[in-house]
Amino acid sequence: MSAVMTDAPATGRAPEPMRANRPPKQRKRPFLPIFFWVFLLITLLPIATMVIYSFNDTPTNRITFHWHGFTLYWYQNLTQVQGLPQAFLLSVAIAILSAVISIVLGVPLSMALERYRFFGKSAISATVFADIAAPSIVVGAASLSFFLSTSIPLGFWTVLIVHITFNLAYVVVVIRARLSGTGTQLEQAAGDLGATPWVAFTKVTLPLLVPGMIAAGALALAMSIDDYVITSFVAGPAVTFPLFVYGAAKVGLPPQVLCFGTIIFVIGLLVMLLNGWLTRRGQRMR
């Protein structure tokens, strides 16, 4: 008979067993921790390599194995590699724009899909699923075929269009999950208190969705900045950061690419840590 307190697993987490009830013989089972840490280190190895070699003082413009000495030269000369800063800025611009537009398009669509039944709902739902599940190669190839046969010139706008298209699916999935989690009691309560559907939406639903929108926006940003396959098909002359890196990787990466990668990594890490710290602070204050 277990004496463990089992509150209803609202968070789905296993409640901590009380110390008195732990079985007396706790065999050390080191396999799993060792396995975990070994593979975790393997996943982090390329990142460590990137960070370390961004400080390598190579005589040429390409990264090499030999350690020539520590230097900040590459960080000080980030703009030296022509095309790289522009590619980076272009990626950031497209990421922000596509995230914002896909949220604007996606939030109403999610509300319609989650809260209503209507003709065409299953079709649209299936289309959103297909948008996520479809392999990038097929989506990129199809988009290129479309732009070619309609003579739309390839470049910034076509890249933006395809980024919005795949971000839309991610946004819809995230927001739908949030909406189904919160339920409609609050909106119904607002209606009971005399609010019109529009007021209920702006004053009740929208504020509730803000964390969801931030999460969806962050996901969209990340997916957009990192996208290589789809972008390579429709970019034409435009060069985004992943496209630049792929092209340079064939001949030998200039160290500034590693610098940019390190910078993005550090910023992302700080944001995640900040987010975690804020969440924990919020939970503690409750």
Q: What are the two backbone dihedrals, phi and then psi, of residue 128, each rounded to the nearest 5 degrees? A: -60, -45
State how far the Cα of 126 lies from the Cα of 122, in Å rounded to an integer: 6
CA torsion through residues 197, 199, 201, 204, sign? negative
Q: How many Cβ atoms sit within 10 Å of the Cβ of residue 215?
A: 16
In the set 99, 113, 204, 259, which binds other proteins (CB under 8 A)? 113
Per-residue binding string, other proteins, 49-68, x by CB under 8 A, is xx--x-----xxxxx-x---
217 near other proteins (CB under 8 A): no
State how far the Cα of 231 lies from the Cα of 197, in Å rounded to an integer: 40
In the set 92, 100, 182, 226, which binds other proteins (CB under 8 A)? 226
72 near other proteins (CB under 8 A): no
In the set 265, 274, 277, 278, which binds other proteins (CB under 8 A)? 265
The interface with other proteins within residues 8-47 (CB under 8 A) comprises 9, 12-16, 32-33, 35-36, 39-40, 42-47
Contact 262, 51 (CB under 8 A): yes
- Give the tokens for residue 124: 């649209």
Q: What are the two backbone dihedrals, phi and then psi, of residue 90, each rounded to the nearest 5 degrees? A: -60, -45
The interface with other proteins within residues 115-134 (CB under 8 A) comprises 115-121, 124-134
Q: Which is nearer to other proteins, 250 or 286 (CB)?
A: 250
278 near other proteins (CB under 8 A): no
77 near other proteins (CB under 8 A): yes
